[in-house]
Amino acid sequence: MVEVVFTMTSPACGESYDATIDGVDVGRVRLRYGRFCAHQADNTKLLLVDVRADGLDGCFYPDMAMRDAYLGIAAEALAAAAGHDTEVVVSVESDFDYDGNLRDWGARVDGAAW
């Protein structure tokens, strides 16, 4: 079993995440205009799915169960492409709230990694 960690890089329009396994960049995922895509670290497209019929949505909020389901699918694809077991555990990290605000702006300004 392998842990895929998704770190939110944008909370909305398009909601996006960097993906790592054991601290190594394995790709990124994004939901934009109703399409969910996953790319490997070298930008090779692994997955493209129409998530929303109207094509207007750029974030999963408030449907977190849908987000978790699609991140799970992406985690399996990214793990397989990186040569890992496809039995995955998904973790999500974020410095954002769903209003698009950094949770701890002061820490970012005072020298944390951008």
Q: Which is nearest to 38 in space by CA: 1, 2, 90, 103?
A: 90
Q: Which residues form the domain of 77?
A: 2-108
Asked if the structure places residue 52 within a domain, the reply is yes
Q: How far apart are CA 5 and CA 15, in angstroms?
A: 15
Query: Tens of pLDDT along 52-63?
Result: 766 567 778 778
Asked if the structure places residue 46 within a domain, the reply is yes
Indicate the burial class of 16 (C-beta count within 10 angstroms; 0-12, 13-18, 19 or more): buried
| pLDDT interval class at 108 (50, 70, 90) | very low
Number of structural domains the chain divides into: 1
Asked if the structure places residue 114 within a domain, the reply is no
Asked if the structure places residue 80 within a domain, the reply is yes
Asked if the structure places residue 113 within a domain, the reply is no
Phi, psi for residue 110 in degrees, rounded to 5: -85, 15
Asked if the structure places residue 56 within a domain, the reply is yes
Q: How far apart are CA 47 and CA 40, in angstroms?
A: 10
- DSSP SS3 for 77: helix
Q: How is residue 1 annotated by DSSP?
A: -
Query: Tens of pLDDT along 9-43?
Result: 888 778 899 999 999 999 999 998 888 999 999 99
Asked if the structure places residue 64 within a domain, the reply is yes
Average pLDDT, the chain: 83
